[in-house]
Structure 1
């Protein structure tokens, strides 16, 4: 999908080739949020795209859950490190749900990057230990895409972007 005419912030950018590539790539997202003490935090976290939500999971007791329930606004970046980099920027509110056991999306995410036998052993251990999780879902309300070929950061010099 061509995204050149869509402005940054338009959620239709989720349908762009770059957004779809990054949403389905086996690389961590970086989620920024406000910690319980009011200071900013950013952390790498695995994710699963459902088609409408970016879902992340964490084990019961994680400090980020208390913070997200208090202040759900998040900003998320998924990006590559090759040149030119591809960058997906998302904003929205995190909805935290308690899960009795393993969050489905966590298992899908982890199995994507593990040999099947290793994943089976890992999840068997978690289930045997009675692991419980929190599902963190973000439905993007603002989307930005950068490819550094046709879409640049807004403050890029016009000599780079070709605009006046």
Structure 2
């Protein structure tokens, strides 16, 4: 299965309607995976986590994370990211990233729902962090997709060469 070209990867990450699975490691060593909304912005995956949540505690303790994205329909693109989550804005500074949060939410929700959600969060005094994972080194980004119709194939089975016996 071919790797996504850089422009294909960026287009895929920027498409609306896409959620990701975000993985951290709990303090007992078990993986924790949650679905997240995200924003591809300036070469980074950006997102927020709930305050007082296990994923937020996990990132604070150990910032190594993994993010998985996929789709079931052709071209069946897949992306796996392993990297370091960095805190861009600490909880309590939501006014500094509200526009990015809005952009992120508008990828998966109607505008009226987004505005109501943001208003309710502000009124409730919820303070959240805003995080980013840079897609440059040392982050590991693996991607692949199914073959396009008529595309030359170097193998019969659509598996990476490493999975096929030689």
**Structure 2: where are the runs of 5+ without partners?**
148-152
What residue in structure 2 maps to residue 161 of structure 1?
none
Alpha-carbon distance in 1 for matches of 2:76, 2:108: 22
Report the number of matched residues: 148
Alpha-carbon distance in 2 for matches of 1:152, 1:145: 13
Alpha-carbon distance in 2 for matches of 1:49, 1:23: 6
Alpha-carbon distance in 1 for matches of 2:39, 2:49: 13
Residues 108-156 of structure 1: per-residue CA shift (max 9 Å, x gap): 2112322222222221111111121111211122111111227853534
Alpha-carbon distance in 1 for matches of 2:23, 2:5: 19
The answer as to whether partners of 1:31 and 1:43 remain within 8 angstroms in 2 is: yes
Alpha-carbon distance in 1 for matches of 2:59, 2:146: 32
Determine if the alignment matches structure 1 residue 125 to structure 2 residue 120. yes
Runs of 4+ in 1 over 4 A off after TM superposition: none
Q: TM-score, length-normalised on structure 1?
A: 0.77
Alignment of 1:108-147 (within 5 A): 108-140=103-135, 141-147=139-145
The answer as to whether partners of 1:101 and 1:131 remain within 8 angstroms in 2 is: no
Alpha-carbon distance in 2 for matches of 1:67, 1:131: 19
Q: TM-score, length-normalised on structure 2?
A: 0.76
Q: Which moved more, 1:95-104 or 1:48-57?
A: 95-104
Determine if the alignment matches structure 1 residue 100 to structure 2 residue 95. no
Alpha-carbon distance in 1 for matches of 2:11, 2:160: 19
**Structure 1: where are the runs of 5+ without partners?**
159-163
Identify the match of residue 155 of structure 1 among 152, 162, 166: 162
Alpha-carbon distance in 1 for matches of 2:27, 2:83: 18
